[in-house]
Amino acid sequence: MSSEHFPKSPKPRVAVVFGGRSSEHAISVVTAGAVLSAIDREKYDVLPIGITPDGRWALTADAPERMAIADRKLPSVEELAESSSEGAVLLPLDPASREVVYSEPGSVPKALGEVDVVFPVLHGPYGEDGTIQGMLELSGVPYVGSGVLASAVGMDKEYMKRVFISYGLPVGPYEVIRPREWERDPAAARKKIVDFAGDHGWPLFIKPARAGSSMGITKVECLEGLDEAVEEARRHDPKILVESLLRGREIECGVLEFEDGPRASVPAEIPSEGGHDFYDFEAKYIDSAAGIVPAPLTEKETARVRELAVRAFDAASCEGLVRADFFLLESGEFVINEINTMPGFTPISMYPRMWQETGLSYPELIDRLIQAALRRPTGLR
């Protein structure tokens, strides 16, 4: 079947892919709105593509103003979709072609033009975990951010910690409860958690092993409420992570890939006050709990956390960008909590704020990420 064709643009075309099937769908939409607002339209053509919660790739309105959280209401791809519920956007799977096609039943497919680079502002599983990255590798289409391995490692907190430990990075105590442990013998799994608490003390944090935006995390003060916390985490991921409370300050640091290698931003601090037990979803995105940028650290502490952030970036073989999260313990030691290979880019997100304080504006940050993706070949070349 033939398709309608549109003339190729003289400017690089950036496909901003957002939404997705994870529980972080709405935050991805908010991130995409901020990115779409910041991309230099004189330098790039933009093609917004939304992925619905059921996995359909849809043409969406290029309407950043409709992608924000308004009156505590979260946006969705369905509200932005311009195509019918049966239409779908198809990315190329042939490395010889970068043409994106829109197809509806009973209609001639429309060629939407070639895509030069994909900006996958997807958070969580089915987007930030190496799945989309693998598809783009097969297609031979350059994309912003880390590749398959680093994306998968950055999503799975268990293996992320294993990689960090192997590279000598400081990691806090943790335990893993695998799906079959809880499903086959919950009493034994519960005892495993209680024994961990006996070694490291209460409270504990029960969290999904492969989720982000603080989704599904519960702070548990004692045995009562443990089962409920486990089930809440398992709603997002059947594999859960158990961590002890690390008493100290929460410090974040951004890493960005430059032509000569990765560099770290000035760090930020997440304040402990604000009516939240920890820096959860509500604090991050609904109540706008603001971090302190730059973090009030000594020169030595600042240099140390920036060094550790870059080391974490390299340890996981990351590319493009990373936000690294740390605890500064009362002893003065930094412990790395996790990295995020596609951190939030909402107007209040810490990653762009840290780089703005370092001297890179939001539009400049987006441009550097796109240019880094265009420079880097896909595959093993």
Q: Which single residue is written with the structure tokens 């985490």?
A: 233
Separation CA 303–CA 168 (nearest Å): 18
pLDDT band for position 307 (cuts 50, 70, 90): very high
Query: For 48-57, 81-90, 237-246, 319-328, which range has the lowest pLDDT when averaged over its residues?
Result: 81-90
Mean pLDDT of the chain: 88
**For residue 24, is pLDDT > 70?**
yes
Confidence at residue 245, expressed as pLDDT on a 0 to 100 scale: 93
Q: How many CB atoms lie within 10 A of CB 148?
A: 17
Helix (H, G, I), strand (E, B) or coil at 177: strand
Confidence at residue 219, expressed as pLDDT on a 0 to 100 scale: 95
Confidence at residue 5, expressed as pLDDT on a 0 to 100 scale: 46
Separation CA 252–CA 265 (nearest Å): 9
Q: What is the mean pLDDT of residues 373-379?
A: 84
Confidence at residue 114, expressed as pLDDT on a 0 to 100 scale: 85
Q: What stretches of 288-358 adopt beta strand conformation (E)?
A: 321-329, 334-340
Q: What is the mean pLDDT of residues 370-380?
A: 85
**For residue 276, is pLDDT > 50?**
no
Give 111's DSSP letter: E
Of the candidates 213, 165, 151, 79, the one whose C-alpha atom is nearest the C-alpha of residue 341 is 151
Q: How many CB atoms lie within 10 A of CB 7?
A: 6
Confidence at residue 282, expressed as pLDDT on a 0 to 100 scale: 56
What is the CB-side half-sphere exposure of residue 92 using CA atoms within 13 A? 20
- Does residue 156 contact residue 353 with C-beta atoms inside 8 Å? no
Q: Kindly list the catalytic residues.
A: 78, 213, 285, 323, 325, 338, 340, 344
Separation CA 365–CA 373 (nearest Å): 13
pLDDT band for position 272 (cuts 50, 70, 90): confident
Of the chain, the percentage scoring pLDDT greater than 90 comes to: 69
- If one compares 100 and 194, the residue with the highest pLDDT of the two is 194
Confidence at residue 106, expressed as pLDDT on a 0 to 100 scale: 61
Helix H or strand E encompassing 287: none
**For residue 361, is pLDDT > 70?**
yes
Q: What stretches of the chain adopt beta strand conformation (E)?
A: 13-19, 45-51, 57-59, 88-90, 99-103, 110-114, 117-120, 174-177, 204-208, 218-220, 240-244, 248-258, 261-264, 268-270, 321-329, 334-340
pLDDT tens digits for range 104-131: 666 656 667 788 999 999 998 899 999 9
Of the chain, the percentage scoring pLDDT greater than 70 comes to: 86
Q: What does the CA dihedral 285, 15, 149, 205 come to, rounded to 10 degrees?
A: 10
**For residue 157, is pLDDT > 90?**
yes
Helix H or strand E encompassing 193: helix 186-200
**For residue 8, is pLDDT > 90?**
no
Confidence at residue 2, expressed as pLDDT on a 0 to 100 scale: 40
Confidence at residue 107, expressed as pLDDT on a 0 to 100 scale: 63
pLDDT tens digits for range 70-106: 777 888 998 888 765 666 787 777 677 777 876 666 6
Confidence at residue 88, expressed as pLDDT on a 0 to 100 scale: 79
Q: What is the mean pLDDT of residues 227-236?
A: 95
Q: What is the mean pLDDT of residues 331-347?
A: 92
Residue 154, by phi and psi: left (phi above 0), alpha (psi -120 to 50) or beta? Answer: alpha
| DSSP, residue by residue, 41-103 | TTT-EEEEEEE-TTS-EEEB---GGGSS-BTTBPP-HHHHB-S-TT-EEE----TT--EEEEE
Please say whether the dihedral angle defined by the alpha carbons of residues 355, 358, 361 and 366, taken in this order, is positive or negative: negative
Q: Which residues pair with 99 in a beta bridge?
A: 114
